[in-house]
A = this chain, B = another copy of it.
Amino acid sequence: MAKKEKEEKNEQVQNLKEEKVEEVLENAEAAPEKSELDLANERADDFENKYLRAVAEMQNIQRRSNEERQNLQKYRSQDLAKAILPSLDNLERALAVEGLTDDVKKGLEMVQESLIHALKEEGIEEIPAEVGGDFDHNFHMAIQTMPADDDHAADSIAQIFQKGYKLHERVLRPAMVVVYN
């Protein structure tokens, strides 16, 4: 190899080394490694966000589930109670029959009382409604009207056809009434 060639070669090597150093110095504060770090940090931030959102969602699910459970508990007897109301109506009609012996009457009243007691235990009560009292469209249903006069104010109850019942504040069935208007 000529001396000149060797010198050129050395120069090339030197240049390459210098380039390498420059590259390394550059890379040390920018591209590949930094970029990998950026990506890793982005991934970390991404999963941190996902994790925090999942925790928040979990708390929401638990809160909703608790509310739902409380609601289910509160109104759990609704369907059975509704289905039992006709039995109470039948009992009242049976008790209204004339000429009942005391034994039968006592028996019917026992059944009626135990039913009303069972319903009350679960939060079911008769809706207040009285002749002469105020008509309340939230709790009463007007199945007929009568003309109001001096003795009978408009929007007062003239007659009660069928008792209404509510479960807590929820109406199971409104009281059926005749109302003055």
**Chain A interface residues (CB < 8 Å from chain B):** 21, 24-25, 27-28, 33-34, 36-37, 40-41, 43-44, 46-48, 50-51, 54-55, 57-58, 61-62, 65, 68-69, 72-73, 76-77, 79-81, 83-84, 86-87, 90-91, 93-94, 97, 99-101, 103-104, 107-108, 110-111, 114-115, 117-119, 121-122
Contact = CB atoms under 8 A, between A and B. Distances in A.
A15 to B, nearest CB: 15
A57 to B, nearest CB: 6
Given A40-B44, A83-B118, A83-B121, 8 more contacts: A41-B43, A47-B47, A47-B48, A65-B68, A69-B69, A87-B118, A90-B111, A93-B107
7 contacts: A28-B28, A40-B40, A76-B76, A80-B118, A83-B121, A100-B104, A111-B111
Number of copies: 2
Mostly helix, strand, loop or mixed at chain A's interface?
A: helix
Contacts of A72: 69, 72-73, 76
Q: Which 10 A-B pairs have the closest CB atoms?
A: A83-B118, A94-B107, A47-B47, A76-B76, A40-B40, A54-B54, A44-B44, A43-B44, A65-B65, A51-B51
A145 to B, nearest CB: 31
Contacts of A36: 37
